[in-house]
Amino acid sequence: MSDFVEGLIYLVENSDEVLYHFRGHLELVVVAELAALAFAIPASILAVRHDRIKKVVLGLGNVGQTIPTLAILALALPLLGLGFWPSILGLWAYAILPIIVNTVKGIENVDEEMVEAARGMGMTDWEILRSIQLPLALPVIFAGVRTSIVLVIGTAYLAMFIGGPGLGVMVVGGIQAYDWAQVIAGAIPGALLAIGADLSLSRIERYLGGDGGIDDTTVAA
Amino acid sequence: MLSSVHNWLAYVDFAVEHSDRLLVATLEHIEIIAFAIAIAVPIGVGLGFLITFDDRLATAVIWLAGVMMTVPSIALFGLLIPYFGIGAPSVIVALVLYTQLPVIRNTYVGLNDVDPAALEAGEAMGMTRLQLLRRVQLPIALPVIMAGVRNAVVILIGIATIGAFIGAGGLGDLLFDGISYVRTEMIVVTTVILSLLALAVDYAFSISEQLFRLNNGEQVESSATMRLLQRVIS
Amino acid sequence: MITFEHVTKQYADGTVAIEDVSFTVEEGTTTVLVGPSGCGKTTTMKLVNRLEDPTEGTVYRDGTPLSEFDRIDLRRNTGYVIQEIGLFDHMTVGENIATVPRLNGWDEDEIDARIDELLELMDLPPESYREQHPPELSGGQRQRVGVARALASDPDVLLMDEPFGALDPITRESLQDEFLKIQAELDTTILFVTHSIDEALKMGDRIAIFDVGEVVQYDTPQAILDEPKNEFVEDFIGSDRPLKKLKVTQVEDVMSPPTEEVATAGGVADATAPVQSDGGSTVSPLEPTDTALSALSRLVASEDGRLPVVEDGDVVGTVSDEDIRRSNAGDKP
Ligand SMILES: Nc1ncnc2c1ncn2[C@@H]1O[C@H](COP(=O)(O)OP(=O)(O)OP(=O)(O)O)[C@@H](O)[C@H]1O
Ligand SMILES: [Mg+2]
């Protein structure tokens, strides 16, 4: 227990250092997640429209989930080298998976009869997508976004291994230096961030009409 | 085009050249996971069973296991090292914690999935609590529990790689070496092995899950493998 | 024999399911509990195999209070067809039926033989049904398996909670007839729940009519039809009480002694021969055990005002619509 208390003391005494790494962590998460959203949503819509793209995308999604987060970051290294942007590439690649899978499934699960009815009323495919399918799929899509965010918060700890910023710098550095107080001080904010993000996002998800449950295949990072 | 063919060959070369090390690391990886699963499943199934007696406890336990799962693994290792030291023990404890959600939840769901009328019928026929569990609830829950373990194992294969950083060994070692020495072949080959390992485990578990279901007389979309297995078994 | 003595059951949430209920089910007879939904029929059943215990009063089995029995033993010796059937979907039909014999430690050979015997009895050929799983069966077939499972270890007492509910009228009718036959062969004490008065009149040696939480009348079908205790019972029987009465009355109870007229004019040989009904098909002559209702329907269809009643080739009486009317009014000839 004393290690934990020492960690808390370290956290308070070195709040500047912790805050600096916390900001680095957040930057990774925000940039990677926004980039993932910007790519994943249009890609999913394209996938829903074209069967062949859908098959490829869902297949990649399934295989992608079997690739460890560490491996994805490691793969970014030979492509872009060390630093912030390679970290973003790795995080982005992992973040898009749950969003795409959920968006495609969410849109596909919209009642076929409703789509038929809309078509009967003379809506174009685009109008159907915008005013029927997307709104109805929203809770499911949001569940994917939530999983993605929690996953990226965790995975961002690993960015340090390819020269990225974030709380991983404190934890990994602490482990290398056998400085347990520093390790704990670096672990606590990230754990709280992940838990807090998940809980608040699950609340929003429930507000949107989803179940707010946990998708246990993708959350752990 | 030529260079990609060239790369492809480089990966194969690497795999052949380092087959010994890859094999050892893969076995180590499997060993850690088998160890964690051997500890985690009895705990998770036990907890899943216990919470069937109290709905509020069930909600709390499942919630807690879910929160557990959102804690980043490096952070969790960091929190555990002071107590369990550097190396495999800390990693295994973390892996056990990460598997609790799928195992507990699926056990709980599986045990509760039994038609209440069937439970009442069993009770009315004079089954004891234990007989009811063994003859009615468990056979129906088993495939669901299997699915939970299957998810758990796939998750563990990924997380265990990070454990290499605190000295637990396994395929993570090769990823870290690949990063340190910027060796693309090493990273790619290891990644492929990890992914194949996960896919293989996933497949094996889904087959055994289907066998359990078939045994219960459920309708299963039978794959070619299933039909083959059925023929072998019967 | 099952005896309820001033039994009250209040559930934990405060619901009083039954209050001060007393009645006795004689050895080897069938008692039907009938009443509207939620009146406590299922609760009464569950008190018999101690799925529930009374809050007040005592239930006896052959004179011994149930509290002196071991729950598990008691249940293994009491067949129970629960309202929702509750078959084990993960087991085959055969395994379902084998459940209690297995719990009781029978030999596998004995169990096998018993499964086949019961499936035959239920008109489900073992070779095609034994290995099936319940979800593959129709509703009626599932009900039969439920009954077979309850009969498996040859229990002294059989509890049947709406065993033929959720069936179409034709299937129900035929299952009822089959079960009446089976029941005549078995020597089991049966408690049978239904909310259909017609089924109660048909299946029961005695009927307990439930209003919410209490037994308002406990009597033979005949007596209930003859003298409904109050308005509730009368309403429950319905406005076609006279017709229902004819259904539970046998021809031998209403017929007049054989008259000269029938014996001479038609001649015995003639009277016992199959007669042409108006549809042209042949029907066998009336027997003493036929219902008064079927006698009436033949009278309506025939040109004669009086039909012979035949038993083993002898005319044992005659019946006219006057006889039937008289019996329905209450005074027997
Ligand atoms: N376990 C229980 N806990 C609380 N109340 C119960 C319980 N079981 C039954 N009841 C209540 O007791 C009353 C009698 O229920 P019971 O099931 O005995 O009725 P029933 O006559 O079998 O009805 P139905 O014809 O619908 O099957 C009902 O008001 C019911 O809601
Ligand atoms: Mg009932």
The string of pLDDT tens digits covering residues B177-214 is 999 998 888 999 999 999 999 999 989 998 888 888 88
A66, A157, A191 member nearest B154 (Cβ): A66
- Domain membership of residue A45 (yes or no) is yes
Cβ neighbours of residue C325 closer than 8 Å, sequence gap 6 or more:
none
What average pLDDT does the segment A202-213 reach? Answer: 80
pLDDT at B38: 95
- Domain membership of residue A214 (yes or no) is no
Distance of CA B43 to the CA centre of its chain: 14
Residue of higher predicted confidence among C20 and B227: C20
Cβ neighbours of residue C178 closer than 8 Å, sequence gap 6 or more:
C122, C123
- Domain membership of residue A43 (yes or no) is yes
Task: Indicate whether C249 pLDDT > 90.
Answer: no
- Domain membership of residue A96 (yes or no) is yes
The string of pLDDT tens digits covering residues A35-64 is 999 999 999 989 988 888 888 888 888 888
Q: A125 falls in which pLDDT band (50, 70, 90)?
A: confident
What average pLDDT does the segment C151-175 reach? Answer: 87
Q: Tell me whether residues A65 and B154 touch, CB distance under 8 A.
A: yes
CATH number of the domain that residue A190 is part of? 1.10.3720.10
Q: Taking the CA atoms of C255, C259, C261 and C267 in sequence, report the sign of the dihedral they define.
A: positive
- Domain membership of residue A217 (yes or no) is no
| Burial degree of B163 (CB within 10 A; 0-12, 13-18, 19+) | buried
pLDDT at C228: 86
Q: In this structure, what is the dihedral angle of CA atoms B50, B55, B56, B57, given to the nearest 10 degrees?
A: 10
**Alpha carbon nearest to ligand 1 atom 28, residue:** C38
Note the residue count of chain A: 221
Please state which of the ranges C74-88, C224-238, C249-263 shows the lowest mean pLDDT.
C249-263
The string of pLDDT tens digits covering residues C265-309 is 444 445 555 554 444 445 678 888 888 888 888 888 877 778 888
Q: Tell me whether residues B120 and C86 touch, CB distance under 8 A.
A: yes
Structural domain total, chain A: 1
The whole model's pTM is what?
0.78
Query: B52, B37, B38, B61: which is closest to B133 by C-alpha?
Result: B52
Residue A195 belongs to what domain range? 2-207
pLDDT at C269: 44
- Domain membership of residue A109 (yes or no) is yes
The number of the ligand 1 atom at minimal distance from the alpha carbon of C35 is 21
pLDDT at C47: 94
User: Highest-confidence range of B9-13, C149-153, C257-261, by mean pLDDT?
Assistant: C149-153
The string of pLDDT tens digits covering residues B94-133 is 999 999 999 999 999 999 988 899 999 999 999 998 899 9
pLDDT at B4: 56
Q: pLDDT averaged over chain C? A: 85
ipTM of the complex: 0.84
Instruction: Compute CA distances B133 → B5, B107, C68, C79, whole Å.
Output: 58, 12, 26, 21
Q: C264 falls in which pLDDT band (50, 70, 90)?
A: very low
Is C17 near ligand 1, meaning CB less than 6 Å away? yes
Collapsed DSSP state (helix, strand, coil) of residue C275: strand
Is C38 near ligand 1, meaning CB less than 6 Å away? yes
Question: How many CB atoms are located within 10 Å of the residue B107 CB?
Answer: 27
- Domain membership of residue A80 (yes or no) is yes
pLDDT at C252: 82
Q: Does A66 touch chain B (CB under 8 A)?
A: yes
Instruction: Compute CA distances C322 → A17, A44, A166, C315, whole Å.
Output: 109, 84, 103, 19
Distance of CA C212 to the CA centre of its chain: 22
The string of pLDDT tens digits covering residues C23-70 is 999 998 999 999 989 999 999 999 999 999 999 999 999 999 999 999
B117, B139, B215 member nearest C84 (Cβ): B117
Contacts from A171-180 at CB under 8 Å and sequence distance 24+?
A171/B74, A171/B75, A171/B77, A171/B78, A172/B74, A172/B165, A174/B78, A175/B77, A175/B78, A175/B81, A175/B86, A175/B165, A175/B166, A180/A3, A180/A6, A180/A7, A180/B81, A180/B82
Collapsed DSSP state (helix, strand, coil) of residue C312: coil
Q: In what order do the strands lie in the sheet with C189-194?
A: C78-81, C157-161, C189-194, C30-34, C206-211, C214-219
Domain limits, chain B: 2-202
CATH code of the domain made up of B2-202: 1.10.3720.10
Q: How far is the CA of C43 from the centre of ligand 1 (A)?
A: 6
Q: Tell me whether residues C87 and B118 touch, CB distance under 8 A.
A: yes
Tokens of C70: 């071991």
